[in-house]
Amino acid sequence: MTARRLLLLGAPGAGKGTQAERLVNKLGIPQISTGDMLREAVAVGTEIGVKARDYMERGELVPDEVVIGVAEERLGRDDARAGFILDGFPRTVAQAHALDEMLERMGSGIERCVALVIDEAAVIERLLKRAEIEGRSDDNEETIRNRMRVYQEQTAPLVAYYRENGVLAEVDGMGGIDEVGKRIEEALGA
């Protein structure tokens, strides 16, 4: 059986978004990216966007209560009932606890957490390349370094959290998109 309530974990630039999209096509379940949702909120200028903008520009995490609200609303929509691929959420231990609680209320839980393992130099190179292509305003060198530091401090502890929960699969994130994608499928039993 393929796991369908999935979480992708990895440093900024590890390829979470790319691999999430691949899984959307393969499994027919939605990708839930708090980064995409927050960027949209900033672009539209919603109340959440106004709250999130400065943190994002600096490469800091948006406060837990803001992001948890965004994720909960999205996970409650009909299309997430059959499964989902979380990309960029949770990013703190507090968010992971909140996620467990909300899924428990829905009578489910995370079935598999795929942690993409890559080296930091490769990540920074990827992010600088993406900055050129997409022109994201948080993709300059200083912010990238800050995002890496924030990841190490606040998000990396989640690897141990999901290992303890018995759902962790560590996957080598180095290599081509399809190569990494196949490793992920294997880890999911897809």
The catalytic site residues sit at 16, 91, 130, 136, 147
Closest to 75 (Cα-Cα) out of 118, 116, 107: 107
Alpha-carbon distance of 71 to 1, in angstroms, equals: 26
DSSP per residue, 88-148: S---SHHHHHHHHHHHHHTT----EEEEEE--HHHHHHHHHHHHHHH--TT-SHHHHHHHH
Give the interface with ligand ADP as residue ranges (CB under 6 A): 12-13, 34-35, 38, 55-56, 59-62, 67, 88-91, 95, 138, 147
Least distance (Å) from ligand ADP to the CB of residue 59? 5
Least distance (Å) from ligand ADP to the CB of residue 113? 14
Least distance (Å) from ligand ADP to the CB of residue 13? 6
Other beta carbons within 10 Å of 104:
10
In the complex with ligand ADP, which residue's Cβ is closer, 125 or 186? 125
In the complex with ligand ADP, which residue's Cβ is closer, 19 or 34? 34
Least distance (Å) from ligand ADP to the CB of residue 185? 22
Closest to 13 (Cα-Cα) out of 134, 169, 148: 148
CB-based closest residue to ligand ADP: 35
In the complex with ligand ADP, which residue's Cβ is closer, 41 or 167? 41
Which phi-psi region, left, alpha or beta, contains residue 10 (left: φ > 0; alpha: ψ -120 to 50)? left
In the complex with ligand ADP, which residue's Cβ is closer, 75 or 138? 138
Write phi, then psi, for 110 (nearest 5 degrees): -70, 130
